Amino acid sequence: MSPSPSAPAHTRTQVQDGPTAAELLDFALRTAADPELVAQLPLDPEGRTWVRLEGPGGSEAWLIGWPPGTGTGWHDHAESRGAFATASGRLTEHSLAVRLPSEGWQSLELAENVDRTRSLAEGTGRAFLEHHVHEVLNESEAEHAVSVHAYYPPLPLIRHYSRSGAVLRLEQVERPADWQ
C-alpha cells in the first residue's frame, strides 16, 4: 500500500526507498539480542569502539562499545533515518522534539520545552527520521554499554553541534571518509 499523494515527502520516500525506520529498529533489536555477535566487539576502557555490520536493504549498521562516561555530543545524521538498540548496559538519549532547518544556519536559539530525554536499557531501542538532532551517552560510572545502530541511506554526513543553554551551534560536518 502506498501513501496518498498528500502524505509528507519523507513518508513517501520511506515506503519507496530502502528500509523504514521501523525496519531499522527491528534489525537493531534483533542484532542487539545476539550474544555471540555482541561478545565479538573489543571493548576499550578509554574510548568508544565499533565494528561495521551489514545492515538490511543496503543500510549502514554499526556495533558500538561505550566505556563509562562516554557520549557522542549533539549531532544529526542528515538525510538518513535510523535506529539504535542497547545490547548491554544502559544508554541515555537527549533529543530535540522539533525539526531544525537542514541547512543555511550556524546558530539557533531553541524554544522552551523542546528537550526530550529517554533511557534505553538492555533490549530496548528507538527509531528516528531524517534530521533528528540528539546526543547519546553512557552515564554509568562503572559499566560498559554496547549498542547496535542502523541508518538508511548510508550516512552521507554527520553534523556536530555544541549546545549552551538554549543555543545550538553547528560546529563541524563530517563525511564518511572522516570515520572509515
* pLDDT tops 50 at residue 13: no
Statement: residue 45 has pLDDT above 80? yes
For residues 37-55, average pLDDT: 95
**Residue 164 pLDDT exceeds 70:** yes
∠ CA 112-140-22, rounded to 5°: 60
Q: Which pLDDT value is given to residue 99?
A: 84
- Express each pLDDT in 51-91 by its tens digit: 999 999 999 999 999 999 999 999 999 999 999 999 999 99
Quickly list DSSP for 3-57.
--TTS-HHHHHHHHSS--HHHHHHHHHHHHT-HHHHHTS---SSS-EEEEEE-GG
pLDDT at 16: 55
Virtual torsion, Cα 38, 42, 48, 52, nearest 10 deg: -60
Residue 177's SS3 state is: helix
What's the pLDDT at 174?
92
State the chain's mean pLDDT as an integer.
90
Residue 90 grid cell: 544502559
- 3-class SS of residue 172: strand
Is pLDDT above 90 for 35? yes
How sure is the predictor about 2, in pLDDT bands with cuts at 50, 70 and 90?
very low
What are the extents of the domains in the chain? 9-179
9-179: CATH number: 2.60.120.10
At residue 180, the pLDDT reads: 62
Quote the pLDDT of residue 100.
83
Of the listed ranges 11-25, 151-165, 166-180, the one predicted with least confidence: 11-25
Under 8 Å between Cβ of 77 and 151:
yes
